[in-house]
Chain A
């Protein structure tokens, strides 16, 4: 039964995909009525006005572009013409740095806050106010203080991914079962060993949930941040291709961004599975 269900689900997914591609192809393949016009004016108006073809690329065009990018993802022909692989590497690098810093700060700080009810209460208003701030609202402040657009993007990733991890770490640590702590106490386990052998494993599933939420937010935010700061990265690539009016490349980027986001999420889902314990 299990296998037949996954086979059926796979078949259905494939059907949906084919239907979408088919509908897409039909939608963009028609030609509209064209009017006779001055050839010079026609040259200014572009393909849509002259031939009546849609400016929207079809799935075959996108497929061809994806193939082109896949064949040569790492070329570099100056600041405005880099391969999609290089752009992705920039974005992933920024996310890794900002997110990594956030992990290094959020988990130890969350641990300390979670172990002290006083700190929990005292710092809660700050967290609650800063958490809902849109990451991009930090951008001007970051640009003003850091004065480096690339570092500012990393800072924005840091500041947006820290809150879910911090809150979940506090929650997980504070929720460590009293009986497990009592076991450690009756065994005269010291505070450091207790933190690593009882509290950390007990809170790990909750912490990983926070990390998974954070990586999703970080990947959402990096695209927007790079559109603002420009220069490199997949977000800048999307914006640049929009300025080039290359919808094919924009659609390609959307697919790639989705794919990378999924992979990042799956990596943390795996990690979460590893630390989850059945009760």
Chain B
């Protein structure tokens, strides 16, 4: 019966609900819909530890969503459930109108530790994914697709290198190429740049942003890095501390879609957004878990759009702000 409920609910037209100043995407926009998932582990003494429960999150097609939260809030578990690597203890995830059961080539994962197969070359690693996607493709076709994906991440010329011969950033590029090569509907990234130095991280963020904007890729990404989330995301999901973590709120990124890294901190709304996120991580992620605000509905976590702060307003009004 519980399996039928999500369907019944989705079939019902959703009335616009602007109560408490929240915006909610209409059902037609739900490309991915996380519906009431929970993850529990058995704890010593016959008890169970609940990492999170009753977690709801809709995502639109072509949207870049970042999830931020402290360690232990179950971010990686949410991603693994989306990938199908783990099953939720309760609830379902619906992608493109279908409840997911297990992993799928439609949902590519970029792993935190790149997870390249060290006995295969760069080309071999990407070709492995391509030949898994198109089982009957000829060797030449597999090769061509793999080379194209490698070129997209700027690694043309390194096709025959082994992962051990590559730097950390290049390895992660191969991981990105492997994920893109299978033309997934959704890209899932688990702190893909956290192990890289700041310079490499910046370059790779630029690359990922360019590729995702060009291809209109739907992306779900986990990060610890507030600036990374601001630069990349359309919406930022804030998780309270675990265990029993909740989606505290969904922050709409007010910055224009065509952001420029160099001018980002001059954009109106930047400081308001950044301060909002940092405030959350520093204090509210803890306080909110202990006492959720009145009227909090886990099904419809509040959607927040930080307003222009005074500092931002000054920048926006001032002549040097090119992107105002």
A residues with CB within 8 A of B: 177, 179-180, 182-183, 185-189, 197-198, 201-202, 275, 277-279
Contacts and interface: CB of A to CB of B under 8 A. Distances in A.
Interface stretch (B21-29, B45-53, B99-107): B99-107
Contacts of A278: 118, 162, 164
Nearest to B80: A182
Nearest to A278: B164
Interface string B156-183: 0000001010000000000000000010
B196 interface: no
Given A197-B128, A278-B164, A279-B164, A186 B108 contact: yes
B72 interface: no
Given A179-B111, A180-B115, A201-B117, A187 B164 contact: no
A185 B103 contact: yes
A279 B118 contact: yes
B133 interface: yes
B44 to A, nearest CB: 21
Interface residues of B, number: 23
A277 B85 contact: no
Contacts of B133: 187
A179 B113 contact: yes
A273 to B, nearest CB: 13
B194 interface: no
Interface string B69-98: 000000000000001110000000000000
A191 B222 CA distance: 29
A119 to B, nearest CB: 23
A180 B163 CA distance: 14
A187 B132 contact: yes
B238 to A, nearest CB: 27
A186 to B, nearest CB: 5
B115 A187 contact: no
A187 B127 CA distance: 12
A188 B132 contact: yes
B38 interface: no
Interface of B: 83-85, 102-105, 107-109, 111, 113, 115, 117-119, 128-129, 132-133, 162, 164, 182
A189 B132 CA distance: 6
Looking at chain A's contact residues, the main secondary structure is helix
A137 to B, nearest CB: 40
A186 B82 CA distance: 11
Contacts of A189: 132
B128 A186 contact: no
Contacts of B107: 186
Given A183-B117, A198-B117, 9 more contacts: A177-B115, A179-B111, A182-B111, A185-B84, A186-B105, A187-B103, A201-B119, A275-B119, A279-B164
A279 B166 CA distance: 10
Contacts of A188: 103-105, 132
B111 A185 contact: no
Given A185-B103, A186-B103, A187-B128, A180 B109 contact: no
A186 B85 contact: yes
A183 B83 CA distance: 11
A186 B109 contact: yes
A179 B119 contact: no
A188 B162 CA distance: 24
22 contacts: A182-B85, A183-B111, A183-B115, A185-B84, A185-B102, A186-B83, A186-B84, A186-B85, A186-B103, A186-B107, A187-B105, A187-B129, A187-B133, A187-B182, A188-B103, A188-B104, A188-B105, A188-B132, A201-B119, A277-B118, A277-B119, A277-B162
